[in-house]
């Protein structure tokens, strides 16, 4: 049997050279594409980080705006509650002489005492900062959770009635 062997001919050597050159060019092209892909990925990563940073900054800004607005609304609520308590105290005090006349001095004195208590509470409320009020509320809830839940339920019911118009049709 004759052994078959591939002989190196000038054509096969040229083909091998072309093939090797094509492989080298393909490797170089792949490296260039890889480098370009890495550069683009880095660029996109930078843009994504920058955009994420912008979103974080915007969220912080809006959060601060919301916090400031909430503090402003809470301050207005505190002022309104203080005014309402003072008004109620004055009304009770102004009606004390009528109670003296109609049901007796003892009841008029109770009304004056209640008016002073309401006014003192309004003054204490007005003197406190919002943070102190929040701390007081937390302490109250911690000490009397049942009463706090009951008061919240009553307040919720009253608000629901207020906003629903107070009547069912």
Helix (H), strand (E) at residue 136: helix 130-143
Q: Is residue 92 a contact partner of residue 120, using CB atoms and an 8 Å limit?
A: no
Residues 56-66: what's their mean pLDDT? 93
| pLDDT band at 9; cut points 50, 70, 90 | confident
Q: What is the pLDDT of residue 7?
A: 65
| pLDDT band at 83; cut points 50, 70, 90 | very high
Q: Domain count of the chain? A: 1
For 151, the domain range is 131-162
pLDDT digits (tens, 9 = 90+) for 68-80: 998 899 889 889 9
pLDDT digits (tens, 9 = 90+) for 100-157: 898 999 988 999 999 999 899 899 888 988 888 888 889 988 998 898 888 888 888 8
pLDDT reading at 169 higher than 80: no
> Is residue 37 in some structural domain?
no
> Is residue 18 in some structural domain?
no
> Is residue 152 in some structural domain?
yes
> Is residue 148 in some structural domain?
yes
> Is residue 84 in some structural domain?
no
pTM score:
0.53
> Is residue 113 in some structural domain?
no
Q: What is the pLDDT of residue 164?
A: 81
Per the model's pLDDT, the better-predicted residue between 67 and 2 turns out to be 67
Mean pLDDT of the chain: 86
> Is residue 156 in some structural domain?
yes
Can you spell out the DSSP letters for 26-92?
HHHHHHHHHHHHHHHHHHHHHHHHHHHHHHHHHHHHHHHHHHHHHHHHHHHHHHHHHHHHHHHHHHH
pLDDT reading at 5 higher than 90: no
């Amino acid at each position: 049997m004759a052994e078959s062997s591939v002989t190196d001919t000038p054509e096969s050597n040229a083909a091998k050279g072309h093939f090797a050159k094509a492989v080298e060019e393909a490797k170089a092209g792949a490296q260039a594409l890889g480098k370009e892909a890495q550069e683009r990925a880095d660029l996109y990563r930078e843009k994504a980080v920058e955009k994420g940073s912008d979103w974080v900054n915007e969220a912080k800004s809006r959060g601060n705006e919301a916090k400031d607005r909430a503090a402003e609304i809470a301050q207005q609520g505190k002022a309104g509650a203080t005014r309402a308590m003072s008004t109620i105290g004055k009304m009770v005090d102004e009606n004390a002489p009528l109670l003296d006349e109609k049901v007796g001095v003892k009841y008029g004195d109770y009304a004056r005492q209640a008016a002073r208590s309401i006014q003192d509470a309004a003054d204490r409320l007005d003197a406190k900062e919002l943070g102190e009020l929040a701390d007081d509320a937390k302490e109250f809830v911690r000490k009397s959770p049942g009463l706090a839940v009951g008061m919240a339920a009553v307040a919720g019911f009253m608000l629901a009635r207020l906003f629903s118009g107070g009547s069912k049709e």
